[in-house]
Amino acid sequence: MARLEALRRNSLVELIVIVAIAIFLALAVQAYAVKPYRIPSASMEPTLDIGQRVLVQRLTRRLGSDPEVGDIVVFHPPTGADASPARCGAPVAEGRACTAPTDAQSDQTFIKRVVAVGGDTISIRDGLVVRNGRRQLAPFAAPCGGGGACDLPEPIRVPEGDVFLMGDNRGNSDDSRFWGPVPVNWVIGEAFATYWPPGRVGGL
């Protein structure tokens, strides 16, 4: 009988240890490798809908890898994005996108697509990016629908160490056009898959 009780106690201790290790590993993975995010707005439609959930891998950023054109990333925007209307960190010339963000980063997290990286020259025509003199195809993007932010024909240069970000819903996105390029060290990670709702499960 005593031996049976000892076995039960050992089994309970083992179960507690296994559960504790599992919780620790889950928290560690979320803290350093993969974290889920919920899409809060329509700015990335039709690629990502409001309420859709994505997985964001943060490991490559922690290892020093910079975002590339086409990546969908989660990041902290500049504090200028918190203002209404959004505020650029430099005087805005007519027909040009914002050239510099405000100095501090916001506590908010946004999700957008990288459309240009440091050293690139870009302008916007009919919602499409003209990068280094070449019009970029964007089959993933919704039509811009007109408005001043759809046509910014005067080129700007993205500073080294920054990325220029735009939503796929080009006519309804608060993005770098208004508050400027973002330093790569404000990027949290790359969205690589969607896991909710079930009908939209898949890679990005």
Catalytic machinery residues: 43, 112
List phi, psi (to 5°) of 46.
-90, 0
Q: Which two tokens mark 165?
A: 């970000």
Please, are residues 173 and 143 in contact by the beta-carbon 8 Å criterion?
A: no
Distance separating alpha carbons of residues 203 and 195, to the nearest angstrom: 9
Q: Which two tokens mark 91?
A: 């005087």
Cis peptide before 85 (omega within 30 of 0): yes
Helix (H, G, I), strand (E, B) or coil at 80: helix
Q: Which of these, 127, 89, 81, lies nearest to 107 by C-alpha position?
A: 81
Distance separating alpha carbons of residues 165 and 154, to the nearest angstrom: 17
Start-end of H helices in the chain: 2-32, 59-62, 176-179
